[in-house]
Homo-oligomer: A and B are copies of this chain.
């Protein structure tokens, strides 16, 4: 068995591969850290949206957090089970539910927010503050470009 076992050079210089590998590692860090608080990534995304925007319909929550309509339903079920959000019918548009964050939900959001801040700094440990901003800005430009189709 050779000593190094490095990846194919074609792969190693392919941006899509670097992004995928980094995302996989980040996902593991994030999932493990949130599991300790009985939460997952989707929970944080939804709580963050409710915390920032106030009571919101499920469809809008899904769009804001890039969570599929179908998964949004399932995740809100989990959050409601834990008493972190409350669903109520919207009086003005009876197709919709209005989802509200509870006081316990707000507490949990702040706990998760602190956990995720730590995850970011673990993930980007080798980069300076300026390099971290640079990375974020490059990725934001890619995403913004494709968001306009």
A residues with CB within 8 A of B: 1-2, 5-27, 29-30, 41, 45, 48-49, 51-53, 57, 60, 63-66, 113, 116, 119-120, 123-127, 131-132, 134-136, 138-146
A52:B124 contact, CB within 8 angstroms = no
CB-based contact A22/B142 at 8 Å: yes
The answer to whether A65 and B1 have CB atoms under 8 Å apart is: no
- Majority secondary structure, A binding face: helix
A65's partner among B7, B119, B131 (CB-CB below 8 A) is B7
Assess A8 versus B53: contact at CB under 8 Å? Given A23-B20, A66-B21, A120-B14. Answer: yes
A140 and chain B: residue at smallest CB distance: B18
